[in-house]
Amino acid sequence: MGLVDGKVCLVTGGASNPGLGHAIAHKLASEGGIVIVTDVDGEGAERTAAEITAQGGQAQAWAQDVTDEALWDQTFDRIRAEHGKIDALINNAGIAVLKTLPELTLADYNRQLLVNMTSVFLGTQKAVALMRETGVKGSIINMSSVAALVGVPACSAYAAAKGGVIG
């Protein structure tokens, strides 16, 4: 019996291999979870899900831009329709634009805040709503980074966003 047998687990940012989301998705599946892998790279998410199913796990892959609230609504509408609940959300999606402050554009800065921090708010909000609706006492894991705690060269926006996740 696995630690998350039959639990519906959404992992954002699960396409990159190697990557934390990819590893988390595999681990949850190996522990009996029903894993939904999302990523802006839909083909990469499909590869992760295919690896999991080839190893006997249960996984689905959906393309998702975590910065788009309407896509979060679609994701949770689909979870509700196909699974009836969510037990775990792992807000893992993230990007780092490695530029020094003079090189960093406002667009670079804003994109990192959207992907690394705003997406966590959106996902958490939608997951809590579905958990309350269905009476699930689930888990939400919001990934941050040591960059939020210590200075990292060329990572000011990334560090600020990850610090925002910590709160």
pLDDT in tens, 149-166: 997 889 999 999 999 999
pTM above 0.85, yes or no: yes
Amino acid found at 57: G
Let me know: does 142 contact 91? Beta carbons within 8 Å: yes
Separation of alpha carbons 158 and 117, rounded Å: 9
Is 20 a residue whose pLDDT tops 80? yes
pLDDT in tens, 8-19: 999 999 999 999
Domain ranges of the chain: 8-94+119-143
Is 167 a residue whose pLDDT tops 90? no
Q: For residue 157, how many other CB atoms are within 10 A of its CB?
A: 23
Is 101 a residue whose pLDDT tops 80? yes
pLDDT in tens, 103-151: 999 999 999 999 999 999 999 999 999 999 999 999 999 999 999 899 7
Domain 8-94+119-143 has CATH 3.30.70.890: no
Percent of the chain at pLDDT > 90 equals 94
pLDDT value of position 152: 86
List, by residue number, the catalytic residues: 158
Is 54 a residue whose pLDDT tops 80? yes
Is 1 a residue whose pLDDT tops 80? no
Mean pLDDT of 69-83: 98
Q: SS in 3 state form for 23-84?
A: HHHHHHHHCCCEEEEEECCHHHHHHHHHHHHHCCCEEEEEECCCCCHHHHHHHHHHHHHHHC
